[in-house]
Structure 1
C-alpha cells in the first residue's frame, strides 16, 4: 500500500487543538514529535504549565526539552508527576533516587535497546509514559527514534484493521529479559510477573484513539489463531513501527529531556556509539489496564 495515504493527524478524532500560552511548540514533523521551548523545568511546575504539558503530550505523543541546565533527578520526578506516580521496571538498575532507573552504556556495557518496543507492555497495567533525561551523551550518535502507532493503525488496510480490532495478544518479558537468566531466577520473576494479554489495537486510555499495540520483544503470539497465522500477522504488525512516515528522530545533547506517551508510541535507541559512553536516567509513569 501507499503508506501515508490516510491523513496523519496528531489529534484524536473529534479533538480540538488548544492554543498554548506558556510553552512554545516547535514541531519536528507535521504530525508527530515537538520540542517545547520557553520552559525552565528546574523551577516549580504550576498547575497551568502542567495542563499545557499534558495537552502537548496528547497532541504530539513525544515532547522534548533542551538546555535544561541544573535539571536533577528530583526535577525529573516532579516532571513525571505531571502525568502520574513512577512505575519501576523490575529489570532495570536503580539509582539512589526512588523511581529513577540509570541506563549506562559504553565499552563496559553495550547498548541493547536497539529494537522497537513499548515500555512495560509485559505488565497488566503498562506504563502510560516515560521521562528520559540525558546525563552523559556522545558528541555523535546515540539518537533515539519514536514511532506513532496510532498513525500506524490508521494506515493499515481496512480488512486488517477490522480483523485485529477484536483480537488480543500475549505479552511476556521472558524472551527478552529472561534470555540471560538461569531457570531459578526466571521462576522467581515469573511468580511476580505472569504473562498478560492486551488488545492488539487498544483504545488509548486518555484519548480513546485506536492504537496498534504489539511489539517485537514482548508480544509473543496473537490469541485465537494457529501458530502459523499468529506469526504471519505479528510479522506484519510489528513491521509498522519501521515505516519512516510514522517516525521522529531526536539527537541528544547535554541537558536534553524526552517525555513520551508509551501507549501511543514505540521507540528505538540507536546503538551506533560504541565504545563511547551514553548515560541516561528514566522514570516510567504508572499505567492502567488497557481495553
Structure 2
C-alpha cells in the first residue's frame, strides 16, 4: 500500500508541514512525486523527526536533482568538519569541532551575511534549486535559532504594474562579498566586491515548474547592468523591504533533533535568525544539501563553460578581471514598489 502524504499549511500563501513519510524505509517514486508536487506548490516543506543521518539525507536530496558540493573548497585547502563533500556545514561549530564565539570575529563576520534575505548560492554562475537543511543537534528549546522564509512569488505578484514593467529584463550582478560587507561593514571595510567575480541573474525569474515569476533581488545583488552601484541599491533595497513585509514572511521553529526543512531557492528567500541565547553557548549543528537549479534559467546570463564559484576566503581567491558594467554615477531616484 502506498503512503499518502499530508501537507499542513503554515502560512496563507506558502510553507507547509509534510506528514506521512516513513523515513525508516526507502523513498518510493510515488512519495518522491508527492513531495515534488508539495514543494512546487508551497515552496517550503517542513519534515519533523526524520531520524536521518548524513548518508540518508544526501540520498533523499539526490532524488531532486544534481547536488552541489564543497569540493572546490577542499581543493584550495579549506578544512571541513563533515566528511561528505555533498553536505554543507552551516553550524555554529568550527572545523575543529569547537563552538564559535564572539572571540572569533572572522567567522562571526562571515555568518552575519546569512541573516540577510538571500537564496542559497545565488552568487554562483549556476544558481541553486533545492536546499534541504537538517537539525543534527539543536540547542535547547527557547534559546532561539529559528529560520525565516519569504514568499518571493507572492511578493512579485503584488508589485505595481509600473514596477513589474521596470524590472522586466534587468540583470543583477551577484556577489557573496557584497552580502558580507552589507552585514559586517566594519570588518570588511577594506574589501572591494568588484575585485572578485560576480554572477549575472535576472532580477525577475520564472519558477521552473509552475511558471510563476519571483523576485530574485537577494542581498547578493551588488549592481544592475547599466546602472551605478548607488542607483542599483536604490532599486534593490526597497524591493527587499517590500518582500520582507510580515505578510510575506513565515518564521519556522526547529523543535527536535532530526527536523528537516526543504525549500526552493527559485521560489522563496530565507534568512537565519541569530536572536536568542544559544549563540556562543549551545551547539547548533545544522547540515544542508543543495541541489543545482535544473531549469532553463539555471545559469542566468553566465557562460556555462566558465564556472564561477564564490565563497572562498578572498585572500585565497584568484582575482578575475571582468568588464565593469556600471554606468556613470547618477542621482538615484526614489523608488515606488
| TM-score range relative to shorter protein | 0.7 to 0.9
**Given the alignment, which residue of 273, 277, 285 partners 2:283?**
277
Match of 2:236 in 1: 234
For the residues of structure 2 that align with 1:42 and 1:162, how far apart are their CA atoms?
49
Contact between 2:131 and 2:263, CA under 8 Å: does it hold in 1? yes
State whether structure 2 residue 179 is matched by structure 1 residue 173.
Answer: no
Instruction: Give 1:247 deviation, angstroms.
Output: 1.3
Instruction: Give 1:229 deviation, angstroms.
Output: 2.6
Instruction: Give 1:170 deviation, angstroms.
Output: 0.7
Match of 2:54 in 1: 73
Report the secondary structure of 1:30's partner residue.
coil
State whether structure 2 residue 143 is matched by structure 1 residue 161.
Answer: no
- The verdict on how the C-alpha distance between 1:240 and 1:21 changes in structure 2, with shifts beyond 3 A counting, is farther
Match of 2:133 in 1: 132
For the residues of structure 2 that align with 1:235 and 1:177, how far apart are their CA atoms?
15
For the residues of structure 2 that align with 1:280 and 1:227, how far apart are their CA atoms?
34
State whether structure 2 residue 32 is matched by structure 1 residue 29.
Answer: no
Instruction: Give 1:126 deviation, angstroms.
Output: 0.5
TM-score by length of 2: 0.72
Match of 2:65 in 1: 84
Match runs of 1:1-291 below 5 Å: 22-69=4-51, 71-88=52-69, 93=80, 95-105=82-92, 108-109=100-101, 110=108, 111-112=111-112, 113-138=114-139, 139-140=141-142, 141-176=144-179, 190=196, 194-216=197-219, 218-253=220-255, 254-272=257-275, 273-275=278-280, 276-287=282-293, 288-290=298-300
For the residues of structure 2 that align with 1:98 and 1:137, how far apart are their CA atoms?
22
- The verdict on how the C-alpha distance between 1:195 and 1:220 changes in structure 2, with shifts beyond 3 A counting, is same
Instruction: Give 1:262 deviation, angstroms.
Output: 0.7
- My pick for the range that moved more, 103-112 or 160-169, is 103-112
Q: How many residues align?
A: 265
TM-score by length of 1: 0.83
Instruction: Give 1:208 deviation, angstroms.
Output: 1.7
Report the secondary structure of 1:174's partner residue.
helix
Contact between 2:130 and 2:291, CA under 8 Å: does it hold in 1? yes
Contact between 1:126 and 1:286, CA under 8 Å: does it hold in 2? yes
Instruction: Give 1:94 deviation, angstroms.
Output: 5.5
For the residues of structure 1 that align with 2:45 and 2:229, how far apart are their CA atoms?
38
Report the secondary structure of 1:129's partner residue.
strand
For the residues of structure 1 that align with 2:64 and 2:180, how far apart are their CA atoms?
27
Contact between 1:221 and 1:230, CA under 8 Å: does it hold in 2? yes
For the residues of structure 2 that align with 1:136 and 1:269, how far apart are their CA atoms?
16
5+ residue gaps in structure 1?
A: 1-19
**C-alpha deviations, 1:190-225, integer Å up to 9, x for none?**
5xxx31111111112222211100111x11012223
Contact between 1:94 and 1:100, CA under 8 Å: does it hold in 2? no
- The verdict on how the C-alpha distance between 1:265 and 1:228 changes in structure 2, with shifts beyond 3 A counting, is same
For the residues of structure 2 that align with 1:53 and 1:81, how far apart are their CA atoms?
13
Two-structure CA RMSD over aligned residues (Å): 2.7
Report the secondary structure of 1:234's partner residue.
helix
Contact between 1:116 and 1:241, CA under 8 Å: does it hold in 2? no
